Amino acid sequence: MLKMTHLQKVYRTHLIETHALRDFSIHVRDGEFVAVTGPSGSGKTTFLNIAGLLEEFTGGEYWLDGVDVRGLDDNARSKLRNEKIGFIFQSFNLIPDLNLFDNVDVPLRYRGFNAAERKRRIDEALTRVGLASRMKHYPSELSGGQQQRVAIARALAGSPRLLMADEPTGNLDSLMARGVMELLEEVNRQGTTIVMVTHDPELAARAQRNVHVIDGQVTDFDEAPKLRDPDAASRGAEAVAANG
């Protein structure tokens, strides 16, 4: 699904070079739920930006779902992002001027679906997160947990193969956080690969596999999925088997 080998990201200013990622390699297989952890400044967010095609990298290779991402122009990257990846941000990033329906609609518009198709997908996605009844509401009328569920619905509406989550519960209290986590696990069970960046070890523990990043390098990862959720584990294992 996602394979980075010897990836490098260097930020240059006129005086210094900062290596945000150095020789970064990771392989996420179809259907996995991977948590990327690490202290702040370790390069987690850079990884997320590059993995989500939000930023370019300076060296190494990155294959996303069988596509070599190197050298793709901005429009191709936008298209790839739109079709393959769903994003969930720490601060939700819902557009305050649009109601829930229109918020979920945003990526579908860029995908170019017709109106009926979009409506079907929006209904489905909002139903899935349990907010179908509030589609005419605006984000400011919802609680944080509900907003994040809308963001998840937005991420899911385009049926992406990969869900990128950046501290998805960082702005939520523990009750709401649990709800959101359960929703993500549910999504994963239904086949969507999830890469979640977090610094919360408790949250990370719920993923099948943890990748630890320090100073721009992967230092530690469990190759095998944890066997905590028998269902997920078995599917994860099948996926591994299928892949390689």
Partner 1 sequence: MEIRPILSALMRSKVSMILIGLQVALTLAIVCNALFIIGQRLERMDRPSGINESDTFWFGSNGFAPGYEATSVQKADLALLRGMPGVVDAAPTNSLPLSNGGWGEGIGLQPNQKTSTAQTTIYLVDDHGVATLGTQLVAGRNFKPEEVQDITFGDNLRPRVVIVSKALAERLFPGEDAVGRTIYVNEDNATTIIGVVERLQQPWVDSDSIEFATLVPAFMPYGNATRYAVRTEPGRRDEVMKAVEQKLGETNTGRIIGRMRSMEQIRADAYSGDRAMAIILGTVIFALLAITALGIVGMASFWVAQRTRQIGTRRALGATKGDILRYFQTENFIITTLGLVAGAVLAYAFSLWLMQQYQAPRLPWYYVPIGFVCLWLLGQLAVLGPALRASRVPPAVATRSV
State the residues that interact with partner 1 by CB under 8 A: 45, 48-49, 52-55, 74-75, 78-79, 81-83, 87, 89-91, 93, 95-99, 102, 105-107, 109-111, 138, 154, 158, 166
Q: CB-wise, 99 or 193, nearer to partner 1? A: 99
Q: Provide the minimum distance between the beta carbon of 81 and partner 1 in the complex, in angstroms, as a whole number.
A: 5
Distance between CA atoms of residues 205 and 187, nearest Å: 17
Residues, the chain, total?
244
3 state SS of 27: strand
3 state SS of 28: strand
Q: CB-wise, 80 or 132, nearer to partner 1? A: 80
Cα separations in angstroms, 34 against 18, 85, 97: 27, 15, 33
Q: Provide the minimum distance between the beta carbon of 179 and partner 1 in the complex, in angstroms, as a whole number.
A: 22
Q: Provide the minimum distance between the beta carbon of 224 and partner 1 in the complex, in angstroms, as a whole number.
A: 29
Are 62 and 223 in contact by the 8 Å Cβ rule? The answer is: no
Q: CB-wise, 89 or 236, nearer to partner 1? A: 89
Q: CB-wise, 103 or 232, nearer to partner 1? A: 103
Are 129 and 123 in contact by the 8 Å Cβ rule? The answer is: no
Strand partners, 64: 2, 67
Q: Provide the minimum distance between the beta carbon of 73 and partner 1 in the complex, in angstroms, as a whole number.
A: 10
